[in-house]
Amino acid sequence: MEKETEQNKMDKIISLAKRRGFVYPSSEIYGGFAGVYDFGPMGVELENNIKSHWWKWMVQRRSDIVGLDSSIFMTPRIWEASGHTTGFSDPMAECKECNTRIRVDKALEEIGITADEKMSEEDINKLFEDNKDKIKCPKCGKQNFSKAKKFNLLVKSNLGDFTENNNAPAYLRGETCQGIYVNFLNVVDSMHMKLPFGIAQIGKAFRNEISPRQFLFRAREFEQMEMQYFTRPEDEMVEYKKLKEYRWKAILDLGIKEENLRWKQHENLVFYAKDAWDIEYRYPWGFDEWEGIHARGNYDLTQHSKGCGKEQNYYDQEKNEKFIPHIIESSVGVGRSVFAVLCDAYTEEEVGGETRVVLKLDKKIAPIKVAILPLSKKEELTKPTMELFNSLKNSFVCQYDETQSIGKRYRRQDEIGTPYCITFDFDSLNDASVTVRDRDTMKQERIKISEVENYLKEKLK
Ligand code: GAP
C-alpha cells in the first residue's frame, strides 16, 4: 500500500476506534501518555470476546492444557535467571539535535536493511554507521545521531523497597510466561499432569518500549495470551509442528481473511532455540508480527533450575527417568489481536451515493450481538421495545438505543459491527412482529416477536 493510503487507513481505524468507544489514548485530558491505551465500552467487549475465544481454544477444548493466573510482581531473581535483566533490550540512538530516541533496528528495517534486536551492540553500530546518511530523525529530519546503545526494556518499580536508591527493584513483568515456568512443578504436583502438557495464561505485561508506535501494535502496557507446552526432548519438534497448525486454525476461526496472514521464519535464532516462526498479519503498513510460535529447547527451566538452586525436573514414572522438559510456546498480544481484527473487519461500501462504514466482525466476537431499537421515542413504542430488550438480554449481548433517527442508529451499529438490528415500529403494535436487519446484506425481514429469540439463536449459532 502506498504511504499516503497506509496512513489514511490507520487514521480511519484509529478515528473509528475512538469515535465508537473501542480505544482511547490514555490520560487524554492531560495531553496523553505515550504508548498506553484505554479500552472503551465496545473495546472491552471485543477484547473479552477475543480473550475467551483464545481461552476456549487453548484451555477449555484441550484435555492436555490447564490455565494459570500468576502475579505481575515476582522476585527480581526470576528476571536475572531468565536473562532479562541483562539481555532484554533494544538498540537505541538519540538525535543530537532534538533528543528524539529511535529504535535503530527498526530504522534500519525501514530502509530495507535486515537487522534485529538480538544483534550485538557492535554489529548493529556497524550497520548503523554504514547507513547513517539514509536515516533521518522522525521529528526534526536531521541526520545527527549518537551511537546505538542497548536499552533494557524491563520496567522497574519500588515495590517493597523503602529506601531512597532502590538497589534491587521489583520489575513489572516483561512477559507473562515467566510466571508459567516458575509454577511448572506446582502444576505437575497439584494437577498430576503428564507430558506432553501445556499451561496457558492471559495477563498484563509491561515494556519500556523506546518508540511505541502504530497504535496498539507496540505499546508500553499490553496484555499477552501465552501458552507454554512441555514435552519430552524427542517430541519437541513434532509437537511444534502441531502447535503451529493449531494456532493458524484458531486465528482463522476469529474470522480473519487468510490472504491477510502469512508465516515468517526467524533468521537470527537465539542460541538455545530450535526454530521460531511468526504469524504475520497484513497491517496497514504491510505484513508484521501478530503472534510468535517458538521451540525453546530446555533453556527456560534450566535457567530457573540454576537460578533457584532446585532442579526443575519432570519424573517420568513409566520410564523411571528424570529430565528437564523442552518447551514450545505460542505468544500473542491482546491489543495486537484487537488491532488486526479491526483492520480485517473495516469495510467501506457505497450505499445510495453515500459511504457506509461497517465492521464485518465475525459474529462470535462482535461486541454487541443485537441492537434493539424503537422506531420513535414515543412511549407506546419505547415501552414494548424495552420489554423485548428485557426478554432477550439474558440470551444475547443486546443494546437498547432510542437516540437519533433510525438511519443514524443503523449506521452506528454498522460501525461497531452489530450483526442484527431489531426495530419495533407502529405496525408491531398490531402484528406482534418486528423488523430484523442483517448488518452485511442490509436485508430486512419481518419476524414474529414470539419467534425472535429462536431466530437469533439460529443465526448466531
Ligand atoms: N514470551 C515470548 C514473548 O514475550 P515477544 O515476541 O516479545 O515474545 C510475544 O512477544 C507477543 O506479544 C508478540 O507477538 C505480540 O503479539 C505481543 N507484543 C509484544 N510486545 C508488544 C508490545 N510492545 N505491544 C503490544 N503487543 C506486544
CATH code of residue 101 = 2.20.28
Residue 350 is assigned to a structural domain of this protein: no
- Which atom from ligand 1 is nearest to the alpha carbon of 174? 4
Residue 349 is assigned to a structural domain of this protein: no
Q: Hey, is 424 helix, strand or coil?
A: strand
Q: Provide the 10 A C-beta neighbour count for residue 375.
A: 20
84 C-beta closer than 6 A to ligand 1: no
Quick check: 176 pLDDT over 70?
yes
pLDDT band at 1 (very low <50, low <70, confident <90, very high): low
Residue 230, CB half-sphere, CA atoms under 13 Å: how many?
30
Q: What are 86-145's pLDDT values in tens digits? A: 999 999 999 999 999 999 998 998 898 888 777 888 989 999 999 988 999 999 999 999
Domain end among 273, 307, 342:
342
Question: Ligand 1, from 211, 224, 300: best to mutate by most atoms within 8 Å of Cβ?
Answer: 224
C-alpha 22/C-alpha 18 separation (Å) is 6
Q: What are 415-433's pLDDT values in tens digits? A: 999 999 999 999 999 999 9
Residue 358 is assigned to a structural domain of this protein: no
CATH of the domain at 275: 3.30.930.10
Which CA distances in Å does 328 have to 126, 307, 386? 34, 21, 51
Residues 292 and 393 in one domain: no
Residues 66 and 198 in one domain: yes
Residues ≥6 apart with Cβ < 8 Å to 1: 9, 284, 285, 286
Eight-class DSSP state of 218: B
Q: Phi and psi (nearest 5°) for 91?
A: -80, 125
What is the reported pLDDT for 4? Answer: 62
222 C-beta closer than 6 A to ligand 1: yes
pLDDT band at 79 (very low <50, low <70, confident <90, very high): very high
Q: Is 31 left (phi over 0), alpha (psi -120 to 50) or beta?
A: left
Residue 163 is assigned to a structural domain of this protein: yes
DSSP labels for 116-159? -TTS-HHHHHHHHHHHGGG---TTT----B---EEEE-PEEE-T
332 C-beta closer than 6 A to ligand 1: yes
State the burial class of residue 141 (Cβ atoms within 10 Å of its Cβ: 0-12, 13-18, 19+): exposed
Beta strands in 154-285 (DSSP E): 155-157, 170-172, 197-206, 221-231, 261-265, 275-283
Residue 323 is assigned to a structural domain of this protein: yes
C-alpha 247/C-alpha 245 separation (Å) is 6
Residue 362 is assigned to a structural domain of this protein: no
C-alpha 244/C-alpha 105 separation (Å) is 27
Residues 247 and 297 in one domain: yes
- Which atom from ligand 1 is nearest to the alpha carbon of 177? 1
Residues 292 and 428 in one domain: no
- Which atom from ligand 1 is nearest to the alpha carbon of 226? 1
Q: Is 137 left (phi over 0), alpha (psi -120 to 50) or beta?
A: beta
Domain end among 287, 307, 342:
342
C-alpha 141/C-alpha 213 separation (Å) is 18
What is the reported pLDDT for 296? Answer: 97
What separation in Å is there between the alpha carbon of 145 and the centre of ligand 1? 28
CATH of the domain at 426: 3.40.50.800
What's the mean pLDDT when you consider all of the chain?
95
C-alpha 366/C-alpha 29 separation (Å) is 29
Taking alpha carbons only, the member of 249, 251, 191, 255 closest to residue 225 is: 251
Q: What is the CA radius of gyration of the chain?
A: 26
Residues 16 and 136 in one domain: no
Pairing of strands 155-157, 170-172: antiparallel
Which residues share a beta bridge with 329?
228, 294
Residues 217 and 181 in one domain: yes
What separation in Å is there between the alpha carbon of 201 and the centre of ligand 1? 14
Residues 63 and 83 in one domain: yes
Residue 332 is assigned to a structural domain of this protein: yes
What is the reported pLDDT for 120? Answer: 85
What separation in Å is there between the alpha carbon of 218 and the centre of ligand 1? 8
Residues 333 and 259 in one domain: yes
C-alpha 415/C-alpha 293 separation (Å) is 33
Domain end among 105, 123, 152:
152
Q: What are 350-387's pLDDT values in tens digits? A: 999 999 999 999 999 999 999 999 999 999 999 999 99
Q: Is 99 left (phi over 0), alpha (psi -120 to 50) or beta?
A: left
Pairing of strands 420-424, 221-231: unpaired
Taking alpha carbons only, the member of 397, 395, 278 closest to residue 340 is: 278
Residues 38 and 126 in one domain: no
pLDDT band at 2 (very low <50, low <70, confident <90, very high): low
What is the reported pLDDT for 114? Answer: 83
Residue 63 is assigned to a structural domain of this protein: yes
* Distance from the Cα of residue 383 to its chain's centroid: 40
Residues 376 and 453 in one domain: yes
User: Which grid cell is 18?
Assistant: 475512538
| Section 64-87 average pLDDT | 97
C-alpha 450/C-alpha 446 separation (Å) is 12
What is the reported pLDDT for 161? Answer: 87
Q: Phi and psi (nearest 5°) for 160?
A: 75, 0
Q: What are 216-256's pLDDT values in tens digits? A: 999 999 999 999 999 999 999 999 999 999 999 999 999 99
Residues 338 and 285 in one domain: yes
Number of domains in the chain: 3
C-alpha 309/C-alpha 315 separation (Å) is 18
177 C-beta closer than 6 A to ligand 1: yes
Residues 135 and 171 in one domain: no
163: containing domain: 2-88+153-342
